[in-house]
Amino acid sequence: MSLPMVVPDPTLPSAVTIYEVGPRDGLQNESAVVPLNVKAEFVRRLVAAGLPIVEATSFVHPKWVPQLADAAELVERLDLAGSTPLPVLVPNERGLDRALAAGVTHIAIFGSATETFARRNLNCSMDDQYKMFAPVVARARAADLDVRAYLSMCFGDPWEDVVPVEQVVGAGQRLLDLGATQLSLGDTIGVGTAGHVGALIEAFGAGGVGVDRLAMHFHDTYGQALTNVLAAMQAGVTTFDASAGGLGGCPYAESATGNLATEDLVWLLTGLGIAHGVDLEALVGISVWMAEQLGRPSPSRVVQALAPTND
């Protein structure tokens, strides 16, 4: 397998953490139910390929996300005591109850930076979302669980258009103030650009939130994901969400191509000499296998270039 020529940039971080979201964010919008054994194997293979964090599933009510109705059964099949964290998304206290009963040690909550998306996705106002999350985070932290907070619509909203930077910073600060240890800033519809990324990170810094507490979650709807990763690294961010094979779509934009593909991110990091710990050949093989399970090719450009059928 070919790899890019390594040309290090001393101005960039020496290492990056890839937060793999394929099993949860990548699969949640699949219309055909993916078998439980396939999901479990997917997670295990991603861990074996060196992904340092693999978000496994979500304890959301099956009515809202039927694809993840088997969350409890999936978690039972995974090694929660292993060295690789396997977080689960929890929407509310009922979801937390299920996570605690399953022995989960890392959870995530999912908030909105805009009023419209909060009402459409969380069925509550922006202010009320914090009231909903407060007991979840408090109880999770009391139980020694790590809590990550996702913040969606940070760069644009299909109903509200441009989202003011100060509005995003305020929403993110409130989630961190609840007790979350990390804040993942989501470009949910993929409209962000490099300058916007830098301005948002700078604004968080001015508000007292350092880059060590931030992660970035980019979608490649307009082909800007890797450019935005580079801009974020130039600003000091070292944690990036990605989905193996580019799994996952955005239901809020017709042209959305989904999450940043983990393989594409690994290729960029490898060429820059930035440590990431992921076996690219193994990862490509995993995405080819998962594409076969789903019955369609992977949208990842790196998978398309390096898949065995293209050798």
Question: pLDDT-derived band of residue 246, with 50, 70 and 90 as boundaries?
Answer: very high
Degrees (nearest 5) of the Cα angle 225, 177, 209? Answer: 50
- Per-residue pLDDT at 249 exceeds 60: yes
What does the pLDDT look like over 167-222, one tens digit per residue?
999 999 999 999 999 999 999 999 999 999 999 999 999 999 999 999 999 999 99
Question: pLDDT-derived band of residue 256, with 50, 70 and 90 as boundaries?
Answer: low
Tell me the average pLDDT across 149-156. Answer: 97
pLDDT at 258: 86
- Give 23's contacts (C-beta < 8 A, 6+ positions apart): 39, 42, 43, 46, 54, 55, 56, 57
Q: How far is CA 286 from the centre of its chain?
A: 18
Q: Among 84-93, 97-106, 242-251, name the one with the lowest average pLDDT.
A: 242-251
pLDDT at 311: 43
Share of the chain above pLDDT 90, in %: 89
- Per-residue pLDDT at 308 exceeds 90: no
Q: Rounded distance, CA 102 to CA 90, Å?
A: 12
DSSP class of 161: B
pLDDT at 251: 56
Tell me the average pLDDT across 148-168. Answer: 97
Beta-strand ranges (E) seen in 17-105 are 17-20, 53-54, 57-58, 88-89
CB-based burial label for 160 (10 Å; 0-12, 13-18, 19+): middle
Query: Which residues are known to be catalytic?
Result: 250
- Give 153's contacts (C-beta < 8 A, 6+ positions apart): 112, 113, 114, 117, 160, 163, 186, 188, 189
pLDDT at 93: 96
Greatest Cα pair distance in the chain? 53
Identify which of 219, 297, 204, 209 has the alpha carbon closest to the alpha carbon of residue 252: 219
Question: pLDDT-derived band of residue 310, with 50, 70 and 90 as boundaries?
Answer: very low
Tell me the average pLDDT across 85-94. Answer: 96
- CATH C-level class of 17-310: alpha beta
Share of the chain above pLDDT 70, in %: 96
Tell me the average pLDDT across 26-45. Answer: 94
- Per-residue pLDDT at 301 exceeds 70: yes
Q: What's the whole-model pTM score?
A: 0.96
pLDDT at 31: 83
Identify which of 138, 21, 142, 143 has the alpha carbon closest to the alpha carbon of residue 89: 21
pLDDT at 250: 61
Which carries the bigger pLDDT value, residue 256 or residue 82? 82
Phi, psi at 301, each rounded to 5°: -65, -35
Q: Rounded distance, CA 90 to CA 110, Å?
A: 8
| Mean pLDDT of all residues belonging to the chain | 94
- Per-residue pLDDT at 159 exceeds 90: yes
> Domain residues of the chain, as ranges?
17-310
Tell me the average pLDDT across 9-36. Answer: 95
Phi, psi at 138, each rounded to 5°: -60, -45
Tokens matching residue 242: 């990605």
Are the CB atoms for 104 and 58 separated by under 8 Å? Answer: no
